[in-house]
Amino acid sequence: MKQLYIKQKVFSLSGKFTVKDQEEKDRYYVEGSFMKVPKTFSIMNTSRDEVALITKKTFSFLPKFFVEVNGQEVLTIKKEFSILKARYTIDAAGIEVQGNWWDMDFQVLQHGEVVGEVGKEWFTWGDSYRVKVMNEEMETMMIALVIAIDCVKADQAAASSGASV
């Protein structure tokens, strides 16, 4: 089992941050596209090779995010039409998310077997998440999933604050 930590900088306009391991060594670099269409987040390994890409679909009635790992689309997060409360679904072949993913407290299962767990770290400056990876082959997908969900949440918060102005 491997444990990784994602900590975003609160006031970073560019959307750049790192994913660290237990020894606080950089394992991945994440760079978001600021003021670009479509909105993307690129996840790179320590050699700065892109290993995953998160893209927000631009012209869609409801928000939709695509997650690619090693050039292959592995999952889609999309908003479902609902009147009172925002509802999102995660579509992925063989991947299931159980728990409260909106509050970042969930398990990721592949074909019924737990391959990772995510928990929000409280009392930290900025959004911080602890990611436990049970299956190392799923490490990049787990990191991409957490960042994609965080991106969806940020997008929803921005839409909500814009609607109330």
Read off the pLDDT of each residue in 3-14 and give the average, rounded to a whole number.
69
Look up the domain containing 137 and give its range.
2-160
For residue 74, pLDDT over 90 is answered with no
Q: 15: how many CB neighbours lie within 10 A of its CB?
A: 19
Q: Report, as an integer, the average pLDDT of 58-70.
A: 82
pLDDT at site 78: 81
d(CA 134, CA 95): 14
Would residue 165 count as lying in a domain?
no
Task: Please check whether residue 14 lies inside any domain of the structure.
Answer: yes
Q: b/e map of 72-101 (b: 16 or more CB within 10 Å)?
A: eebbebbbeeeeeeeebebebeebebeeeb
Amino acid letter, residue 4: L
User: How many CA atoms lie less than 13 Å away from 125 in the CB half-sphere?
Assistant: 4
10 assigned to some structural domain: yes
For the segment 92-134, what is each residue's pLDDT rounded down to a tens digit?
A: 878 888 888 778 889 998 888 999 999 988 765 667 889 999 9
pLDDT category at 11 given cuts 50, 70, 90 is very low
What's the CA gap between 31 and 39, in Å, rounded? Answer: 11
* Single pTM value for the model: 0.81
CB neighbours (10 Å) of residue 21?
13
Residues 109/120, Cβ–Cβ less than 8 Å? no
For residue 153 the two structure tokens come to: 């949440």
Task: Tell how far CA 132 is from the center of its chain.
Answer: 14
How many folded domains does the chain comprise? 1
pLDDT at 10 over 60: no
Looking up residue 62, the CATH number of its domain turns out to be 2.40.160.200
116 versus 16: which is more confidently predicted?
116
